[in-house]
Amino acid sequence: MPQSQSESLPQVSAETQRYDEIPFFNCGDLCTVVTLKSAAFMSAPRAFDFHCHSLFSDGSLAPFELLMLAKERGVELMAITDHDTVNGYSQTLQTQAVELGLELISGCEISCQWQRRGIHVVGLNMNLNDPGFRQAMQAQGQARLSRAESITAVLQRLGFEVELTQVQSLAGNGTIGRPHFARHLVDTGQMSSMSTAFKRVLGSGKPGDIKANWPTLETAIAWITGAGGVAVLAHPLKYKMTITKLRSLLADFVQAGGQGIEVVTGHQEPSKVRTLMDLALRYDLYASAGSDFHHPGQPWAALGQAQSLPNSCQPVWEHWS
């Protein structure tokens, strides 16, 4: 159940931290990385959000609009974690964040697979100019494009009128996903609604549910850590695994160099937060929190308004502070 704003802002323990060296980055032509001295974080951030999406993937706000909303919600430290792309980050955005008094770190939600299941790993605080990471982002973009081509071919075989360019124009700057295909089918009168499109052709187990050729969990973690970032297992309870399976995933995750887990994701029941906190402690993982915000008006994923991290957890920003 949504909480009142004052209750729901993530609060952190009173431990005093120094945040006078938070790395910044830019993705401009010069591709330099600078470290900014900031007086803003002499103590732990009052509110933070390490998981949200812009229109560079499947969110609906531009990165700057995300910053504005975050500022409005009292967020002090954040990352934008678009799916398989960091194209939302730019020198301009970095400057805008500084002007707003927000500490913006780099972020990305990487799609990968573990035991043939789709898993999301959030990378935080990478050097976006790392050549290996840049190559990885290109590979992810290519994997998404190949998948979109395959979905187009399947839909055409089924008799639908669809061209990849039409779906690409719906995606704009963002990465193409199945919702864009559903949108095209609805816009052109070939399906009555998005949900019908998913139920008939694009949903799980349907012909258009093409699996992309995602990297392994180990590879995704290596991309993140190779660029100096911390790899965080995203929304661990969304995979609907048994606790035994989830422990097995976490054992492999840690073995591969993963160091964090989302203990708070959106508005969660307290029992789920406890389960995830226990896992964080058991596997000695940093705890992260994020809304998984995509669109305004989704109260279960309101930007900057995830619950507090339990005091016993070690917050993920301590990794780079």
Tokens for 82, please give them: 């678009």
Alpha helices in the chain (DSSP H): 5-8, 63-72, 91-100, 131-157, 164-171, 178-187, 194-197, 217-226, 243-255, 270-282
Amino acid, res. 148: A
Cβ proximity to Zn ion: between 12 and 234 the closer is: 234
Site residues (CB under 5 A) for Zn ion, limited to 232-251:
234
CB of 319 to Zn ion, least distance (A): 20
Site residues (CB under 5 A) for Zn ion, limited to 35-74:
none
Cβ proximity to Zn ion: between 44 and 121 the closer is: 121
Cβ proximity to Zn ion: between 41 and 50 the closer is: 50
Tokens for 225, please give them: 């850590």
Which are the contacts of 62, defined by CB distance < 8 A and separation ≥ 6? 54, 55
**Residue 208 to residue 212: CA distance in whole angstroms:** 11
CB of 289 to Zn ion, least distance (A): 13
CB of 124 to Zn ion, least distance (A): 13
Residue pair 125/320 in contact by the 8 Å Cβ criterion: yes
Site residues (CB under 5 A) for Zn ion, limited to 151-170:
none
**Residue 320 to residue 308: CA distance in whole angstroms:** 20
**Residue 181 to residue 207: CA distance in whole angstroms:** 13
**Residue 106 to residue 50: CA distance in whole angstroms:** 9
Cβ proximity to Zn ion: between 49 and 103 the closer is: 49
CB of 57 to Zn ion, least distance (A): 8
Choices 62-70, 153-161, 284-292, 306-314 (CB under 5 A): range interacting with Zn ion: 284-292
CB of 109 to Zn ion, least distance (A): 5
CB of 308 to Zn ion, least distance (A): 20
Give the DSSP letter string of 60-119. SS-HHHHHHHHHHTT--EEE---BT--TT--HHHHHHHHHHT-EEE-EEEEEEEETTEEE
Q: How far is CA 130 from the centre of its chain?
A: 19
Q: Which of 73, 120, 147, 267 binds Zn ion (CB under 5 A)?
A: 120
Residues contacting Zn ion: total by CB under 5 A:
4
292 contacts Zn ion (rule: CB under 5 A): yes
Choices 9-17, 120-128, 156-164, 196-204 (CB under 5 A): range interacting with Zn ion: 120-128
Mark 194-233 with x for binding to Zn ion (rule: CB under 5 A) and - for no binding: ----------------------------------------
Choices 163-171, 194-202, 286-294, 305-313 (CB under 5 A): range interacting with Zn ion: 286-294
Q: Taking the CA of residue 212 as centre, how many other CA atoms within 13 Å lie in the half-sphere pointing to its CB?
A: 25
CB of 307 to Zn ion, least distance (A): 17
CB of 66 to Zn ion, least distance (A): 13
Cβ proximity to Zn ion: between 52 and 148 the closer is: 52
Cβ proximity to Zn ion: between 191 and 261 the closer is: 261
**Residue 280 to residue 288: CA distance in whole angstroms:** 10
Q: Taking the CA of residue 26 as centre, how many other CA atoms within 13 Å lie in the half-sphere pointing to its CB?
A: 16
Q: What is the binding site for Zn ion (CB under 5 A)?
A: 109, 120, 234, 292
